[in-house]
Amino acid sequence: MPLNPSLSKAKDRSSSVLGRPEFLSLNQPLRNSRASRRANHWRTHQCENLPEPESTKERKEPTRLPDEDCMLLNPSFKGIAINSLLAIDICLSKRLGVCVHSSSSWGSVRSMVTLLALTGHGLTWICGTLVCLMQSNTPAGQEVLINLLIALVLDILTVAGVQKLVRRKGPWDMSPGFLDCVALDTYAFPAAHASRAAMVSKFLLSHLVLAVPLRVLLVLWAFLAGVSRVLLGQHHLTDTACGFALGFLHFRLMESVWLSSSACQTLISVGTFSWGSSN
């Protein structure tokens, strides 16, 4: 039976329309479309199972700042006060370091200030006390000198122990000298020269009969010996103030454990006997 001409024309028109590029996907068989979907699903599954690169992990993970770089949102009043006082202490100590270098504002008197600081050094006082003890012939003088020697050793060991615990550096980045290392004075807090000067001056004022001008000079020397280390940039102001306080505590402690004249004579006889037997 012959086909209707109108139906054949409609069929030709529909086939030509489906032959366009934008309709080519409609002409693919259903089996191919299912296979392509399976392939896409398999690729997606494989991509999910692949390990992520390190750079991607680093971008995803937020960087954690160290604790010292983090800012406290609600600092306490005590913390604010302490930090403010420390900042003022550091600023004033740096300003007072006028003899740190020869090119400083007071660099011309740096040698004189260094000599003044040497008068408060531990080795200076220990060597001087030993020389005076060997030259002394009276029991009263030997008693004072032996107790002074014990107080000096106590001061050196106590200050060195506290400095090792605190480990505070000075206001200027300066390494300790040879004499400071020998006397165990390697850190800033507390100031060893200030502690020793306060203890020695109080000791001498209590056990020696001195005229008023000498007493005034002794107190002035103790103050200048402690402040000289601040001028040289070795200590802060708070280090020196705590050193003075610690020196007075050492004096009080030494007064409570004062060795009598008989105990001092026993120590001298033991030392003389051991020295003579070794020779």
Predicted local confidence at residue 68, as pLDDT: 44
Q: What is the pLDDT of residue 30?
A: 46
Distance, CA of 26 to CA of 152 (rounded, Å): 104
Catalytic residue flag (residue 193): yes
Q: Determine the pLDDT at residue 268.
A: 82
What pLDDT was estimated at residue 98? 85
Burial 245-278 (b: 16+ CB within 10 A, else e): ebbeebbeebeeeeeeeeebeeebeeeeeeeeee
pLDDT the model gives residue 107: 80
Identify the active-site residue in 45, 101, 193, 236: 193
Question: What is the tens place of the pLDDT at every residue in 39-68?
Answer: 555 565 555 555 555 555 445 555 565 554
Residues of the chain scoring pLDDT < 50:
1-3, 17, 23, 30-32, 57-58, 68-69
* Closest to 158 in 3D by CA, of 248, 258, 86: 248
* Per-domain boundaries in the chain: 106-265
Give dist(CA 104, CA 110) in Å, integer.
9
Catalytic residue among 41, 121, 207, 235: 235
pLDDT at 81: 81
Q: What is the pLDDT of residue 251?
A: 94
The whole model's pTM is what? 0.68
